[in-house]
Structure 1
């Protein structure tokens, strides 16, 4: 019975981490309170929040994800079940972090490299990269070929494939046969129209990259979006 007296529900309601999480959100809880939710109960001598604080004081939150089962189990108040639960929680966090690191974001230089065949092309090509919510490319399409102007590139042609493929964002790009990557008035106007249309549809225009023979220009880097 005594071992059960220091569970979370035995704390005053205003001090219970679960209730605080529900009311204020997880970001408002301390590290000890978050760990206490995982542990659920304390020991005969200390409540669960006190136990969590003691663990973090001994190991620190940075070291906790890297502890072995034996290191956790041998800490007074944990035991095998709580040790496994802590290890499982942190393993999920590690896997999520690994997935995040694996995300591929198409940087302006990547676009320039991907479209290297257009650097010396005598005709302007307007290309759209369609990306998913993890910034990974779903597909790409050439929307138009020829002299680029605001009337030639219509938002409908750009966003129709985005809607069809459930794209979260797009990167648009086109080449300048002149070799000068500086944007023209038409380039600025087209980009403005696409950004406005994207906001209505909930699809972000992440960048507009102009491809030239000896370099490129990113609207995002130049703060032109």
Structure 2
């Protein structure tokens, strides 16, 4: 049986727009949701087929794989031009911001879980390790954040001097370190432990406390504070 070339050629019960109107967006599959947002397919291929090929192409990672697609990579997919690539990129960014905003009002730097949830979507899809420095005032409120390294977190490459210059410029009273493990497993490595100890010791000398070091995995995290390492 030939694949319908357009959404209108599909049986009405299978059309994502009609299905959404009758049953609600929560009843749509990942493929159907993406098809609605794409609106149209390509020559000889409807939007549902195109969405399925994007989500379950060569890497077959489904919806989670979308976070790894850059604009350039999207445009290399047959049927995805400039407009559709921008649409998908904006959808992903909107999803990230919605996820982050939902935790913003609950963010407490005395609770590692809320910090991890707040930054989860920023970090868990990164292909390289990214270390963030979070700077806090005397009331443990966030007054600044910056990326201090990208690549393997190596204690010899992250210098406490540069890190604390940044913290002092913000008048930070305390700091939190955070980085991701692209493998998805947040278990601390030897380098993670060495880096934490160097920064902890340096902070003690200049009066800026290291409150925690949080490692982000795939929808999971480890807090040095919760684990009793700090």
TM range (shorter): 0.5 to 0.7
In structure 2, relative to structure 1, the CA distance for the partners of 1:188 and 1:141 (3 Å cut) is same
Offset at 1:148? Answer: 1.0
**Aligned residues of 2:131 and 2:147 also touching (Cα < 8 A):** yes
Matching residue of 2:213: 208
Matching residue of 2:112: 108
**Aligned residues of 2:107 and 2:115 also touching (Cα < 8 A):** no
Q: Distance in 1 between matches of 2:185 and 2:107?
A: 28
Q: Distance in 1 between matches of 2:107 and 2:118?
A: 14
Task: Give SS of 2:215's match.
Answer: strand
1:198 corresponds, among 189, 203, 215, to 203
**Aligned residues of 2:107 and 2:114 also touching (Cα < 8 A):** no
Offset at 1:104? Answer: 6.6
* Structure 1 segment 74-113 matched on structure 2, within 5 A: 105-106=108-109, 107-113=111-117
1:168 corresponds, among 164, 173, 193, to 173
- The superposition leaves residues 45-90 of structure 1 with CA deviations (integer Å, 9 ceiling, x where unpaired) of xxxxxxxxxxxxxxxxxxxxxxxxxxxxxxxxxxxxxxxxxxxxxx
Task: Give SS of 1:152's match.
Answer: coil
The runs of 4+ residues in structure 1 deviating greater than 2 Å are none
Larger deviation: 202-211 or 155-164? 155-164
Q: Distance in 2 between matches of 1:163 and 1:142?
A: 16
Offset at 1:105? Answer: 3.1
Q: Distance in 2 between matches of 1:186 and 1:203?
A: 22
**Aligned residues of 1:143 and 1:153 also touching (Cα < 8 A):** yes
- Correspondence 1:126 to 2:124: no
Q: Distance in 2 between matches of 1:187 and 1:180?
A: 13
Is the radius of gyration larger for structure 1 or structure 2? Answer: 1
Q: Distance in 1 between matches of 2:180 and 2:204?
A: 25
Unaligned 5+ residue runs, structure 2? 1-105
Unaligned 5+ residue runs, structure 1? 1-102
Offset at 1:111? Answer: 2.1
**Aligned residues of 1:104 and 1:134 also touching (Cα < 8 A):** no
Matching residue of 2:33: none
| Matched residue count | 124
1:141 corresponds, among 143, 146, 149, to 146
Aligned residues: CA RMSD: 1.7
Task: Give SS of 2:116's match.
Answer: helix
In structure 2, relative to structure 1, the CA distance for the partners of 1:200 and 1:146 (3 Å cut) is same
Q: Distance in 1 between matches of 2:216 and 2:208?
A: 23
Matching residue of 2:187: 182
Q: Distance in 2 between matches of 1:150 and 1:167?
A: 22
